[in-house]
Amino acid sequence: MSAHKKLREIYMNKKIKVSFQGVIGAYSHLACVNHFSSDVIAIECETFQDAMDMVEANEVDFALIPIENKTAGRVDEFYGLIPSMKLQIVGEHYQKIEHCLLGTQESSLEKIEVAYSHPQGLAQCRNRLRGLNIDPIAKYDTAGSAKEVAHLQDSHIGAIASSLAAKTYGLKILKENMEDEKENFTRFLVLGKKQDIVEEHCEYKTSLIFKINNISSSLYQALGAFANNGVNLLKIESYIPLKKRDESHFHIDVDGSPSDQSLKRALIALRACVQELKILGTYEKAYN
């Protein structure tokens, strides 16, 4: 049995509540449904922090937060919250992104002059919008943009959002497949209270952040802790936390669980050559 199925068994006697940033019809909402089940109780939140706070307050079971997109890259807003995050990463989900250009029922593709969407959504459709001579206007959410277009009822304003958002807010799909990259996926993290579920025969991923010493070759030494112990490095991101502009932190994903001897040795070696180290979570690896 996979760890994800085991986790769902724990909650099988109640409906799972999941918070997400955005409104009903957002890709985050769609990811909640696809990752858990169609009867998940998805709770709208204005910000990522609000979604995480609901988990900490035991108002929901999990928060589902986007961390990166294949086309547009990482979600910087969430990276700024990672150092102070009290929750654990307990899962991940890859959601295929299929953008549509939406408009009012009276609109047409030729009428649209501007398109509202989340900055990530606009970035993922940059070339298509440019080719249609449509100016992008950033808003806080894809589905929220669709909701606003439905409220404004201006046939010259469109939204980049999902077909679910079109159905939810009564808009017309003016053009499908607006994304520049057809194999376009967003990776979401499932955040929750600490879950000690490690099953045999499952492939695991461990995420962590660390701050290196401000000396020559410090990053080389830190990464050597994994290479020297045969641990596969899946991803590395450097970022500067909010209000700490003079510090560089690194977020990495590696294969395995800290219960594996190779990763256990690597973490011991890493702690010896960095200033700060925080394990964000170990969870079953997902595939897109």
Residues 135 and 91 in one domain: no
Burial level of 157, CB count in 10 A (0-12/13-18/19+)? buried
- Does residue 134 sit within a domain? yes
Burial level of 284, CB count in 10 A (0-12/13-18/19+)? buried
CATH at residue 22: 3.40.190.10
Active site residues: 186, 188
Domain limits at 236?
A: 204-284
Residues 104 and 91 in one domain: no
Residues 54 and 121 in one domain: no
Structural domains in the chain (count): 3
- Does residue 75 sit within a domain? yes
Give the DSSP per-residue string, 31-73: HHHHHT-TT-EEEEESSHHHHHHHHHTTSSSEEEEEEEETTTE
**Beta pairing class for 73-74 and 62-69:** antiparallel
- Does residue 149 sit within a domain? yes
Instruction: Report percent pLDDT > 70 for the chain.
Output: 90
Domain final position from 192, 220, 238: 192
- Does residue 180 sit within a domain? no
Checking if the pLDDT of 245 tops 70, the result is no
Name the 3-class secondary structure at 167.
helix
- Does residue 228 sit within a domain? yes
Checking if the pLDDT of 243 tops 70, the result is no
Question: Comparing 41-50, 150-159, 180-189, 236-245, which segment has the lowest mean pLDDT?
Answer: 236-245
Confidence of residue 12 (pLDDT cuts 50, 70, 90): low
- Does residue 198 sit within a domain? no
Q: Are 199 and 1 in contact (CB under 8 A)?
A: yes
Burial level of 210, CB count in 10 A (0-12/13-18/19+)? buried
